[in-house]
Amino acid sequence: DGTASEVADGLLQAFAEGGRTAELGLLPCGAGIDFARGLGLSGEVDLTLRRIAGAKAHKVDAGRISYVDDHGALASRHFINIASLGLSGATDRAVNADKRKGKVSAKALFYWRTVWEFLRYRFQDVVITVDDGVPVEARVALVAVANGKFFGGGMMIAPDAELDDGQFDIVILRAAGKLKLIWDIRLLYGGRHRNHSAITILRGKKVVVEPLGDAQKNAALVDVDGESPGRIPATFEILPGALTLRY
């Protein structure tokens, strides 16, 4: 996912700077492969190559996130699958630093690291504004701004997300009892969390998330397609039909 996201970011920057474009094809042979999972791609490389060779091009949406990097500077980049904040950012850093990455299944590693980081996690207070709506104050474990359906090694965090509908699905996991939430993580793998009492799902084209109260304590880490390059405040914007995929 990280590699595909970096390539997509380069293509989108090239288009913005000089109108240059290219079609993107994906071989799902990395650790998370959540974006490819959402496209229904096989993990068998030769089969996927044949599929790409005979496939039609599809215009899909992309996202752009602006955030504060680890040096305190403003930064921005594109994403193709899901950008989020909170527990997911902490989990990204733990997974990417884990020496077992690539040696054990991604699902097992992400699940274990998610549970472990959740036990240590301090819920954070944020203000969430979707489009021009009324700002929502919330104590959260996670806010996912989803273009695709899957993240975290197979968690279907946004079961109704579509890559070409011009909108994000915004999934807010509010603070609640940790032990119950850890138990309920299993619901994410089948997308069975829509009606969970701690979950709110919104839709929109632009999302702004800012720390509430103590800016340092509530500066949640961001996750961008499986990497954690910084923290909030962050702005997420949809770019309809910005990327051409062949799959």
Where on the phi/psi map is residue 229: left (φ > 0), alpha (ψ -120 to 50), or beta?
Answer: alpha
pLDDT at 105: 85
Contact assessment for residue 7 and residue 25, using Cβ atoms and an 8 Å cutoff: no
Q: Which residues contact 74 (CB under 8 A, 6 or more apart)?
A: 66, 67, 68
What pTM, to 2 d.p., does this model score?
Answer: 0.94
Q: What digits encode the pLDDT tens for the residues 93-119?
A: 999 999 888 788 888 999 999 999 999
Domains of the chain: 61-240 (2.60.200.40)
Q: How far is CA 22 from CA 13, 19, 28, 118, 164, in A?
A: 12, 10, 19, 40, 18
Per the prediction, the chain carries an average pLDDT of: 94
Query: Among residues 239, 212, 235, 215, which one has the least CA distance to residue 74?
Result: 235
Contact assessment for residue 89 and residue 220, using Cβ atoms and an 8 Å cutoff: yes
Q: What digits encode the pLDDT tens for the residues 139-189?
A: 999 999 999 999 999 999 999 999 999 999 999 999 999 999 999 999 999
pLDDT at 32: 76
Contact assessment for residue 159 and residue 166, using Cβ atoms and an 8 Å cutoff: no
Q: Is the pLDDT confidence value at 19 over 90?
A: no
| pLDDT bucket at 71, cuts 50 / 70 / 90 | very high
| pLDDT bucket at 44, cuts 50 / 70 / 90 | confident
Q: Which residues contact 210 (CB under 8 A, 6 or more apart)?
A: 126, 127, 232, 233
- Spatial separation of the C-alpha atoms in residues 106 and 109, rounded to whole Å: 5
pLDDT at 102: 79
What residues are paired with 233 via a beta bridge?
Answer: none
Q: How far is CA 200 from CA 17, 136, 193, 223, in A?
A: 37, 11, 10, 19
pLDDT at 101: 84
Q: Is the pLDDT confidence value at 30 over 80?
A: no
Instruction: Go through 116-134 and write b for each residue having 16 or more CB atoms within 10 A of its CB, e for each that does not.
Output: ebbeebebbbbbbbbeeee
pLDDT, mean of residues 25-35: 85
Instruction: Go through 153-166 and write b for each residue having 16 or more CB atoms within 10 A of its CB, e for each that does not.
Output: bbbbbbbebbbeee
| pLDDT bucket at 21, cuts 50 / 70 / 90 | confident
pLDDT at 229: 97
Q: What digits encode the pLDDT tens for the residues 74-96?
A: 999 999 999 999 999 999 999 99
Q: Which residues contact 169 (CB under 8 A, 6 or more apart)?
A: 146, 158, 160, 161, 201, 202, 203
pLDDT at 155: 96
Give residue for tokens 């993240």.
151
